[in-house]
Structure 1
């Protein structure tokens, strides 16, 4: 089971309270987590990654086990503590400006 924590604006959009729990058989990656989120919550389609390219949106970051996974390959396996549900997979809206 993977625990996913979304920022407030995305939880509101998808009408979610708290974290999302996703069940996976076998290996999980950023791509499989986002695929599962979009399938379960269609309102999230296009908010985390571009519809056409499938690339992560510029102002969205992914974290796990205190590491920024945003620039890791989308199909790289997630850390074991995330896959086991011990640590959450965090989706964070990046800050910009000056």
Structure 2
């Protein structure tokens, strides 16, 4: 599967462009994607989700197939259409830094 990271996380992980991962399991979830990402790039541990709670960090969003997946439960299976597109490599799982301000 393909994972797109924001520039600052690519720099931290020492990667250029998309990250390619293999994700084990029958159902694709946010947790299994992030587990595989952090296993491949341990330096990213704690940057995308809290180490203790496993919850998504504030100002980090997840997208795939033009759908915002950020508020889905980490262990909820991704919708079949999205999971199929991601595992087939047609669409990336995107980690995006959110903007805030007034």
TM-score range, shorter chain: over 0.9
Using structure 2 for the length normalisation, give the TM-score: 0.90
The reply to whether residue 21 of structure 1 matches residue 59 of structure 2 is: no
Using structure 1 for the length normalisation, give the TM-score: 0.93
The reply to whether residue 4 of structure 1 matches residue 3 of structure 2 is: yes
Q: What are the residue-to-residue correspondences of 1:1-98 with 2, within 5 Å?
A: 2-25=1-24, 26-78=26-78, 79=82, 80-98=84-102
Structure 1 gaps of 5+ residues are none
Structure 2 gaps of 5+ residues are none
Structure 2: distance between partners of 1:52 and 1:77? 22
Number of residue-to-residue matches in the alignment = 97
Structure 2: distance between partners of 1:28 and 1:21? 15
Structure 1: distance between partners of 2:52 and 2:23? 25
String of CA shifts for 1:23-67, please: whole Å, max 9, x gaps: 134322110010011111011000000011000001100000000
Name segments (4+ residues, structure 1) moved above 6 Å: none
